[in-house]
Each structure stands twice: as C-alpha cells, then as structure tokens.
Amino acid sequence: MQGQYIKFGKNLVTTEEFLAEGHTFCTGCGEALALRLACKALGRNVIIANATGCTEVCTSPLPVTSWRVPWIHTLFENTAATISGIEAGLKILMKKGTIPERDIKCVAVAGDGGTSDIGIQALSGALERNHDFLYLCFDNEAYMNTGIQRSSATPYGASTTTAPAGKLSIGQTTWKKNLPEIAVAHNIPYVATACPSYPFDLMNKVKKGGDIKGPAYVHIFSPCPTGWRHDTDLAIEIGRLAVETGIFPLYEVENGRYKLNVDRPKLKPVEEYLKTQGRFRHLLDEEIERIQEHVNEEYAKLKAKVAHSTT
C-alpha cells in the first residue's frame, strides 16, 4: 500500500484528503463528513460527476475548488446520465487504445432531491443499462441547497419550507420514498445504506460499491443541522439514533441478498430520535405513535428479506 495511513483499531484510513479543506459546508454538516469519508474510501483513481446541491455548491465556487480528484458538474437532474457518458467514453477509448487501459472508478454524487425526484429517470436508466459506476446519494431529506424545501425523501411529519407544519398541517404528510429499494428493483449487483456515524461501515461500502463491476448504489444518511434544526455537534449522535431506532437501518443487498449490518436486539423508540430535531418539534403523541408503527412495520419487512436471504 502506498501513502500514509492512520490506524483506527483494525482499520487503516489514508491521511490523504481528496476533498480539500476550505469548503463552505455549514458547521457540523453530516453530508460534508460523509462525502469526505467516501472520497477517502475511493482514492485518487476516480472521476466524480456531481449533481447540483450542497455537495456541489459548497465545493466549487469559481475560481477555487475543493476537489483534488477529477470532478464535473453539469446540471441538477442528469448526473446519472453524465456518469454514463463518462463510463462509456472511458471504456471505448481504452478499447480502441486511445487511452491506456486502467481502473478508473466512475462515481456519481447527488442529494436526495437530485436522486429521488428530478434525477430518478436518469438514475433508473443508468442502472438499467448496466454501466459500471457507483452512485452515491447523500440523503439529508430535503432540498437543502435551495432552502429546506421538501423532497420525496423527506420523512413523514417533518416541517420544511414547502410543506411547513401549521395549524392545518403536520408538515410532510407522505412516507419517505424508499430509494434503496428502487435501486434493488433494478437487479443491480450492489445496494447499500450507510451513515457517517458508522465511518468504517460507510467507507467499506463505498469501496465495495466502487470495486464491484456494474452499477452500485449507496444511500447515505446525512444529518443536516441547518435543515433539521439540530445542534451543530449532534450530527453523529443523530445518525446513530436513526440507525438504533430503525428509522434508517444499515444494510447491504449484494446480488439480491439482504444483510443487516447493525442489528440491535431491541430498537430504541423513535421519539428519542425525533426529539433531537426542530423539524419534528410540533409532532403530537399520536403522530409519533404512527411513525413508530410505520418504522416497526418497515423494519419487520426488512428483517424478513434478510431472513429470506439467509435461507
């Protein structure tokens, strides 16, 4: 192995930073941390295509850049298509001998809005066409870059600027769209969920997703102090609570087989998670109860898939 590494228990992590200091993410941003870890896992032989959103705007204001790896941004809605062209272009140029044969990981980076709403068509197309790429969705559960508007990944009951809680509304009235399951439905070799509160798990999954031939999708839960209205020192704790309550389970689906990466004997009550954030502050007990029931149900479904995969 080349380069310098730091040891964390049995894990080695490179000291190299591919996402440079001096970016403009908010203090305590979970997305920034997740992106930095993902870049460490990928190393320098990558090309990144980034959708519009916090990950793009906070890293690339001309004339400076935070990117130490080749990086391209084109639009908000088309990142999966842009990376399709990059991947196909590299492949044919290598095949024709125009550029030397080598392993370059093609990685798409987008937010939950760029993935689950405006970019879902391009994503579905790219997954279905079997391009050899890794798609990283940084899910902060709303359009944060434009000012905390709801997306289809915003959770039930959260207050956002376009689905605000008010006298007649609890805020978001729909259940969060299950993007990892949509990716799984494309029968791709690798789908995983991750969270920067579990940094080694995240890095392992990103690395695996990058190494696997064919499309891989990693959905990364990214606490956002600004949009979720939580203290700036809480992103790690909130990420952990999301996993421990079953709100955001950590799992992998490799060639259709499900595996839970963190499985606690007993889930914590969702209330412990909800009460950490201003976006849920207005919720009454009965709504919290509904959310609890929904989480129980979804978690049970997931466990059934895991059980089915091991038989």
Partner 1 sequence: MSKRIGLEASHAAAEAARMADVDVIAAYPITPQTHIPERLAEMVANGELNAAYIPVESEHSAMSTCVGAAAVGARTFTATAGPGLEYMHNVLYVASAMRLPVIMTVANRALSAPLSIWGDHSDAMSVRDTGWIQVFCQNSQEAFDMTLWAFRVGEDAGVLLPVMVHFDGFHLTHVTEPVILPEQEEVDKFLPKFHYPFALDPDKPMTLGAYAPPDIYSEAKIAQEVALRKSKDVVIKGFEEFKNIFGRCYHAVEPYGMQEAKTLLLTMGSFSETAKVVIDERTNRGESIGLINLRLWRPFPFKELRQAVKGAETLIVFDRCISFGGPGGPVHSEIKSALYNMPRRPKVVSFVGGLGGRDVSMKDFEHVIDRGREIAENGSKGLYETVGIRGKVTDIRG
Q: Which residues bind ligand SF4 (CB under 6 A)?
A: 25-26, 29, 31-32, 54, 58, 140, 144, 224-227
The residue among 98 and 161 lying less far from partner 1, judged by its C-beta, is 98
What residues form DSSP beta bridges with 257? 254
Strand duo 216-221 + 134-139: pairing: parallel
Sort residue 186 into left (φ over 0), alpha (ψ -120 to 50) or beta.
alpha
The span from the CA of 176 to the CA of 158, in Å, is 10
The residue among 16 and 117 lying less far from Mg ion, judged by its C-beta, is 117
The residue among 146 and 204 lying less far from Mg ion, judged by its C-beta, is 146
The span from the CA of 300 to the CA of 306, in Å, is 10
Which of 13, 26, 89, 146 is in the footprint of partner 1 by CB under 8 A?
Answer: 89
DSSP symbols for 108-155: EEEEHIIIIITTHHHHHHHHHTT-S-EEEEEE-SSBTTTTSB--TTSP
CB proximity list for 30: less than 8 A, separation 6 or greater: 140, 196, 221, 222, 223, 224, 225, 235, 236, 238, 239
> Per CB under 8 A, which of residues 31..60 are in contact with partner 1?
44-47, 49, 56-57, 60
Q: Does 76 bind ligand TPP (CB under 6 A)?
A: yes
Q: Does 91 bind partner 1 (CB under 8 A)?
A: yes
The partner in contact with residue 26, picked from Mg ion, ligand SF4, ligand TPP, none with C-beta cut-offs of 5 to 8 angstroms by kind, is: ligand SF4
Residues that bind ligand TPP (CB under 6 A): 31, 52-55, 76-77, 110-114, 138, 140, 143-146, 151
- Residues in touch with partner 1 (CB under 8 A): 44-47, 49, 56-57, 60-63, 65, 67-75, 77-78, 80-93, 95-96, 98-99, 104, 121-122, 124-126, 128-129
